[in-house]
Amino acid sequence: MPSKMPRFNYRTAGILIVDGRVLAHSDPSSSTPHWALPGGHPELDETSADALRREFAEELAVDIRIRRLVWVTEVFGGDEDGRFHEIALYYEVELPAGSRLAAHDGPFRGDGHDSAHLVFRWLPLDGLDQVRLLPSFLVQNLRALPDRLTHLVHVDPA
């Protein structure tokens, strides 16, 4: 049987931490269910920060504020779909004043027009090792964000 084609992915993601919890999403229809930080793929001629604002608006109907770029990552791995290589930019973001997004307790669907397939949840930072959060470097590194921009190269086990 021939090997599957490797995939390359460029992604931007938001680190939204409120009250010791980080916002994550999952696609229940995925062949490899896991949690990830919200975000998406920048479009041609769109900056990563603009793409992140757009994705939060589309999926959660919220206008986030970008605080700073935290990580530039190169993640390598593989799954039943084949090998992958992902370049991702992770931004620390915050909610606008008065947002009710942090009030959710338990899984919820997004309020935006582009989130029907996603389930969101606030994951406690001290319990991240109890869920499948990808890329896996996030499990330890979200508990203490670096104070300056950091480049990470990470291999996720299959």
CB atoms closer than 10 angstroms to residue 44: 4
Q: What is the pLDDT of residues 55-89, one digit of tens each?
A: 999 999 999 999 999 999 999 988 767 788 999 99
Sign of CA dihedral 151, 122, 157, 2: negative
Give the pLDDT band (50/70/90) at residue 116: low
Q: What is the pLDDT of residues 40-56, one digit of tens each?
A: 999 999 999 999 999 99
Looking at residue 129, its pLDDT comes to: 95
Give the pLDDT band (50/70/90) at residue 1: very low
Looking at residue 114, its pLDDT comes to: 60
**What CATH number has the domain bearing residue 53?**
3.90.79.10
Indicate whether 112 belongs to any domain: yes
Indicate whether 2 belongs to any domain: no
Indicate whether 31 belongs to any domain: yes
Report the domain count for the chain.
1
Q: What is the DSSP string of 20-58?
A: TEEEEEE-TT-SS--BB-SEEPPPTT--HHHHHHHHHHH
Q: What is the mean pLDDT of residues 4-16?
A: 91
Percent of the chain clearing pLDDT 70 (strictly above): 92
pTM for this one?
0.91
Q: Which domain does 118 fall in, by range?
A: 7-96+103-155
Indicate whether 1 belongs to any domain: no
Indicate whether 91 belongs to any domain: yes
* CB 109, CB 116: distance < 8 Å: yes
